[in-house]
Amino acid sequence: MASSGKRETRFHGRVEGHRTCAYPGCTGAGEFRAPGSRRPNFDGPGNWQFLCLDHVREFNTGYNYFSGMSTEEIEAAQTPYGGWDRETRAFANVGSQTPRWADFTDPLDAIGARFRRQPPQEQRKDGRELSDTDRKSLRVLGLGTDTDRRTLRQRYAELLRRYHPDHNGGDRGHEKALQAVIEAYTQLKSRPAFA
């Protein structure tokens, strides 16, 4: 392998430059960047300190990202969506319904139809989100959007009794409806809206 003339860096994160280690009393080269005393916030990024290899290792063993944060701030940072705005996640649902190409003579009309606004869907009174799959499963069970977990279980038990062959003298004519009810309930029972 030919050498490019640059010094090979053995450690990831080494910052070239002529700085002295920020650790008090150390005269080594400050080649590694570590968070300083000011954390990043709304007013701007935090500051950095440059340490030698031994002192950056010591710093890393004692570093706690969550120090100085309240319980609520820690929980917000640990959520799966920490750092993402709600509008960003909702954008993924735009145009989820693909138009039928045969309904259009101009391909651009078909593409535009995919992004037309859908009529607003009924929201839950408690503010919990429902996906399109949740709404479809609720329709299968014949329930409204504001159904709670108890009502969901009662309706499931009622439909099981109605469609199960053991309650219909062995008649298997409702097997398809029974399977749809079981799938809908299984999908809904683990959703946050029904927790």
- CA distances (Å), origin 60, targets 3, 30, 54, 163: 32, 15, 10, 62
Q: What is the pLDDT of residue 43?
A: 75
Render each residue's pLDDT in the chain as its tens digit; 195 residues: 444 555 555 667 777 777 889 889 998 888 888 888 777 777 777 788 889 989 988 888 888 888 888 888 888 777 766 555 554 444 444 444 556 666 777 777 777 776 666 666 778 888 788 888 888 888 898 988 888 889 999 999 999 888 888 877 787 888 888 899 999 999 888 888 877
Cα 38–chain centre separation: 29
Domains of the chain: 12-74 (no CATH), 87-119 (no CATH), 124-194 (1.10.287.110)
pTM attached to this predicted model:
0.40
Q: What is the pLDDT of residue 153?
A: 92
